[in-house]
Structure 1
Amino acid sequence: MEEEKIIEENKEEQEKGSEEMDNDNSQEEIKVERKLVIPGETIVSGDDYLPGDYTKKDGDNVVSNRYGLAEVRGRVVKILPISGVYEPRRGNTVIGRVSEINFSGWQIDIGGPWRAFLPLNECPRFINRNNVAEFAGVGDVFNIKVWGVKQGSVDLSLKSRGLGKLEDGRIIKINCHKVPRVIGKEGSMINLIKDKTSTEITVGQNGYVWLKGDIDGTRKAEEAIRLIEKEAASEGLTNKVEEFLG
């Protein structure tokens, strides 16, 4: 029962970002700390801390399971990986390319060893089984959502706002663990790049980035994204990108 209580507290901390209240019930600002850690390294010690993504509890210690940036946000400790392959999670929005077609839907390449499939019933409109290729053919690119993951296979859906086929443009690949830095807080970083380069940009959580615009704009946008990917762990990154974009 104690373990269930800890798990429930952990879930509430991560999903709601709840903060502890002081004695007079005023809300305190959550302190966020980050540091680079390796697997097996103790991040923090004490009963007050709860393990989050890629961490585990070992006695009074919270220990890292991955190489990356350890983030201590309030009571919750988690790892932001900076290396490794993409691991799909329900709710992720990814960019994928149609690799195969059959009567029940489309096989989508989202990178890595995952078998990802978009069934007909997860399209936003009715698709005739005899005309599947009319909706999407091999090579077509989609901004698409992960709605299920099981035993190495991924189920995809287009039934959400903002999803669909990405026409024309081109795709670049970045480290999927650097995607949050490329997007920025509430989309601030990617919007900065869009505005400065006049480029349409869609970033998938699997590390694929779709760019559409004129040659100079897309080139500058890619260079800015590569800069963020390279300098993801450094401070003052927004200022560096602003200076680069001019």
Structure 2
Amino acid sequence: MEENDSVFEKVREIVVPGEFLGKDMNNGPWTYRIGNEIYSMRLGIKSVRGKGVGVVPLAGKYIPKVGDLVIGIVSDITPNLWYIDINSFNPATLHVADVPWRVDFGFTGKYMNIGDSCLAKVKAVDETKIALLTMNDKGLKKLSRGEVVEISATKVPRLIGRGGSMINMIKEYTKCRILVGQNGRVWIEGDLENMAMAIQAIKLVEEKSHLIGLTEIVKDMLENAKRGE
């Protein structure tokens, strides 16, 4: 009987809330300090960089930060603003003053209606973590074509990869245009076969994000898909 290759997949260190992470280090995201000892706040992957240690949560809602690029879906409209679902605990708001169109009062639905998608930037975040968005910047726009898929917001850094290595590899193999929002939404445009391949690769990154050697795993999947295997 052949042995299952997955037995030999190397898993990055997964920690649970309250688990000891190290001492005499700088505490990073999703950690807390007791004296000189650092502990985890979340179920996630231990991340050590230099003299710092943090945790990358395995799941969770997007927490907006000023300057983040997000892919939103219009959930409601009023005469002078849109409510945008950004995969967070609360919908964000997008005012008519923060879009690239001249919108007369009461005509918001003419430009974006419920269910439409857009690429926007987080302009501000209030004390309740409700985000104010803007589309008044280069490259920000309504996403009229393509498809939006969703992954856990905590997996976005793995999808992008170091220096953009992972997402650029997926773009190269699939020849698709791909935009990644920090909120876990990904917009893909291309022919149907290549879009399906890109979605498969993106979902594989989400599923296997805890493994070492993820780039090679995704590359093998893309090469097999190209060969029709």
Q: Please state which band the TM-score falls in when normalised by the shorter chain.
A: 0.7 to 0.9
- Residues 106-143 of structure 1 deviation map (CA, whole Å, 9 limit, x = unaligned): 11111243121001122235433243233322222101
Counterpart among 142, 145, 154 of residue 131 in structure 2: 154
**Residue 188 (str. 1) matches residue 165 (str. 2):** yes
CA distance in 2, matches of 1:43, 1:192: 33
Q: How many residues align?
A: 211
**Residue 169 (str. 1) matches residue 146 (str. 2):** yes
**Residue 137 (str. 1) matches residue 113 (str. 2):** yes
- Residues 128-175 of structure 1 deviation map (CA, whole Å, 9 limit, x = unaligned): 324323332222210111122221422111123221111211111111
Counterpart among 59, 77, 80 of residue 101 in structure 1: 77
Counterpart among 16, 39, 47 of residue 38 in structure 1: 16
**Residue 231 (str. 1) matches residue 211 (str. 2):** no
Q: Is the 8 A contact 1:50 1:57 kept in 2?
A: no
Give 2:156's aligned residue.
179
- Residues 163-203 of structure 1 deviation map (CA, whole Å, 9 limit, x = unaligned): 11112111111111111111111211111111111111111
CA distance in 2, matches of 1:216, 1:61: 51
Give 1:208's aligned residue.
185
One-letter identity of the residue aligned with 1:181: R
Q: Give RMSD over aligned pairs.
A: 1.6
Give 1:245's aligned residue.
222
TM-score (normalizing by structure 1): 0.80
> Which runs of 5 or more residues in structure 2 are unaligned?
1-11, 224-229
1:240 Cα offset (Å): 1.6
Give 1:60's aligned residue.
36
Counterpart among 55, 62, 65 of residue 79 in structure 1: 55
TM-score (normalizing by structure 2): 0.86
CA distance in 2, matches of 1:209, 1:243: 22
Q: Is the 8 A contact 1:93 1:143 kept in 2?
A: yes
SS in 2 for 1:191: helix
- Percent identical: 37
Q: Is the 8 A contact 2:151 2:206 kept in 1?
A: yes
SS in 2 for 1:227: helix
Q: Is the 8 A contact 2:158 2:205 kept in 1?
A: yes
Q: Which has the higher contact order (CA 8 A, sep 6+)?
A: 2
SS in 2 for 1:168: coil
1:37 Cα offset (Å): 1.2
- Residues 35-82 of structure 1 deviation map (CA, whole Å, 9 limit, x = unaligned): 321111110012xx1112111110110111111112121122221111
Q: Is the 8 A contact 2:47 2:55 kept in 1?
A: yes
> Which runs of 5 or more residues in structure 1 are unaligned?
1-33
